[in-house]
Amino acid sequence: MVLLQMTGLSGAGKTTISGHVKEHLQQLDYKVELIDGDVFRRTLCKDLGFSKEDRCENIRRMGFVADLLTRNDIIVIIAAINPYDEIRQELKDNYGAKTIWVNCAIETLKQRDTKGLYRRAFLPENHPEKINNLTGVNDIFEIPQNADLVLDTGQESVAQSVQKVINFILQTV
């Protein structure tokens, strides 16, 4: 079955799109599971930090769990920032994962700032609330070199982005 790895900055729309896609496909009687980065960071990956090594290990564990599910006819969507090409490629090589780049301009993300992270990342150095490892601001995001589908959520509506992902999955299953 299909394994999708969404990749994109915080607030780009990975969780929102995945949730709608899941709902829609379940209505078509597909089995779908969402592997959410925030949930894994609170549970199976709570020992990991935000170094390159730990960010890759985070995705590696998600890929491992996802593979168990796809072997059982479940469509799996991994929704995590997933910033490094090396580990995206590893999931592609090991499990046939398709990459969906959920792209959005940083200016739009700063305006959305649903979790308040961008405000904190742009605070002056030494501010007590300052975040120093926000992907796309002061931590690396490698542009996906071989994305199978690219969304631009700064330009598209949620419904348009969701439809693009559904079309992609239905062409792939």
List residues binding ligand ADP (CB under 6 A).
8, 10-17, 79, 112, 114, 153, 156-158, 161
Q: Which residue's CB atom is positioned nearest to ligand ADP?
A: 13
| b/e map 38-59, b = 16+ CB within 10 Å | eebeeeebeebebeeeebbbbb
Element (H, E) at 26: helix 14-27
Instruction: Please state the closest distance from residue 104 (CB atom) to ligand ADP, in A.
Output: 8
Element (H, E) at 109: helix 106-112
Query: Rounded CA gap, 85 and 78, in Å?
Result: 15
The smaller minimum CB distance to ligand ADP, of residues 57 and 113, is found at 113
Instruction: Please state the closest distance from residue 163 (CB atom) to ligand ADP, in A.
Output: 10
The smaller minimum CB distance to ligand ADP, of residues 145 and 155, is found at 155
- Residue carrying the six token digits 């990459």: 99
Here the tokens at position 6 are: 């969404």
Count of other CB atoms within 10 angstroms of residue 131: 18
Instruction: Please state the closest distance from residue 73 (CB atom) to ligand ADP, in A.
Output: 26
Instruction: Please state the closest distance from residue 152 (CB atom) to ligand ADP, in A.
Output: 8
Contacts of 60 (CB under 8 A, 6+ apart): 87, 90, 91
The smaller minimum CB distance to ligand ADP, of residues 20 and 92, is found at 20
The smaller minimum CB distance to ligand ADP, of residues 8 and 63, is found at 8
Instruction: Please state the closest distance from residue 11 (CB atom) to ligand ADP, in A.
Output: 5
The smaller minimum CB distance to ligand ADP, of residues 3 and 141, is found at 141
